[in-house]
Amino acid sequence: MSSLFSSTITLGKELKVTDAEFGQLRDFIYAQCGIYVADNRKYLLENRLANRLKQLNLKNFSEYYYYLQYDAGRREELNRLFEVITTNETSFYRNPPQLQVFQEQILTDVLDSLRKSGQKKLRIWSAGCSTGEEPYTLAMIIADVLKGELPTWDVRITANDLSERVLESARRGVYNEYTLRSTPKDVLARHFVKQDSFYAVRPELKKLILYHQINLSDAAQIKRVERSQIVFCRNVIIYFDDEMKKKVIGAFYDNLLPGGYLIIGHSESLHNISRAFKPIHYPGAIIYKKEG
């Protein structure tokens, strides 16, 4: 925090973003990843990027915009820009009522129909997984539901995010106590190995998850994700405008197998976005079903 503050002061007036530059950058960011940077985040963007411009020896935001489009380092810079504009907040067992519905209703229903069909192949997609807390939580719930039966199942959670940096941390799977604050004690004991003051996810669970980078605004990348029975996309679409929300939710619909479920964040809604799903109301959660 203090370094951001001091860098803006040292750099002085020339590193202020003009309205025109902000508009250019905003359009560029939207075209790249579907995130719409609202007017009230202009100064945040300016503060967070000032240091970057200094490191790159750029005189103003127009030069930065040019760099993002034409410089040999533009791909790497785009990743850095994504890190600046995304919010990666997450935690294990985030929103317990929703996860209880997942465990007791949704997962049970999906596992039962898979057992009946004789195809014990479970596919879950965690879209916008940040540092991995969500997909690991899902893996832990699945392991606790299937218990000794787990090795007889083919289970895969596809987890992806826009930011390579958060994915690296997800692949490591080592966490501090703060992000585990809502995790039941017995889960902590069962699924983690304590390493000094940190907790490492057990390797048996790590291998259920496949992490890779995906930009949800890239239709071709989304199409390559294996089809799933359940899609989790929580606390991600809040950063998108309606047009982008419609695109992404439509892509989840296409990815889901008939009878599959979409689980979005507690404060998010598909109102005015999609009528394709059937909303099912449970105490503490609304889950969206693809009928079929």
Ligand X SMILES: C[S@@+](CC[C@H](N)C(=O)[O-])C[C@H]1O[C@@H](n2cnc3c(N)ncnc32)[C@H](O)[C@@H]1O
Residue closer to ligand X (CB basis): 206 or 234: 234
Residue 24 binding ligand X, by CB under 6 A: no
Residue 236 binding ligand X, by CB under 6 A: yes
CB of residue 263 vs ligand X: minimum separation in angstroms?
A: 10
For the segment 252-271, give every residue that binds ligand X (CB under 6 A): 265
For the segment 164-223, give every residue that binds ligand X (CB under 6 A): 166, 214-217
For the segment 125-144, give every residue that binds ligand X (CB under 6 A): 128-130, 134
3-state secondary structure the chain: CHHHHHHHHHHCHHHCCCHHHHHHHHHHHHHHHCECCCHHHHHHHHHHHHHHHHHCCCCCHHHHHHHHHHCCCHHHHHHHHHHHHCCCCCCCCCCHHHHHHHHHHHHHHHHHHHHHHCCCEEEEEEECCCCCHHHHHHHHHHHHHHHHHHHHCEEEEEEEECCHHHHHHHHHCEECCHHHCCCCHHHHHHHEEEECCEEEECHHHHCCEEEEECCCCCHHHHHCCCCEEEEEECCCHHHECHHHHHHHHHHHHHHEEEEEEEEECCCCCCCCCCCCCEEEEECCEEEEECCC
- Which two structure tokens, joined as six digits, stand for 125? 């997609």
CB of residue 237 vs ligand X: minimum separation in angstroms?
A: 9
For the segment 39-78, give every residue that binds ligand X (CB under 6 A): none
Residue closer to ligand X (CB basis): 87 or 108: 87
Residue 231 binding ligand X, by CB under 6 A: no
Residue closer to ligand X (CB basis): 51 or 90: 90
Out of 69, 87, 108, 176, the only residue in the binding site for ligand X (CB under 6 A) is: 87
Number of residues interacting with ligand X: please give it, by CB under 6 A.
26
For the segment 90-109, give every residue that binds ligand X (CB under 6 A): 90, 94
Residue closer to ligand X (CB basis): 47 or 88: 88
Out of 24, 158, 163, 183, the only residue in the binding site for ligand X (CB under 6 A) is: 163
Out of 27, 76, 89, 168, the only residue in the binding site for ligand X (CB under 6 A) is: 89
Positive or negative torsion for Cα 284, 186, 178, 237: negative
Residues that bind ligand X (CB under 6 A): 33-35, 86-90, 94, 128-130, 134, 161-163, 166, 214-217, 234-236, 239, 265
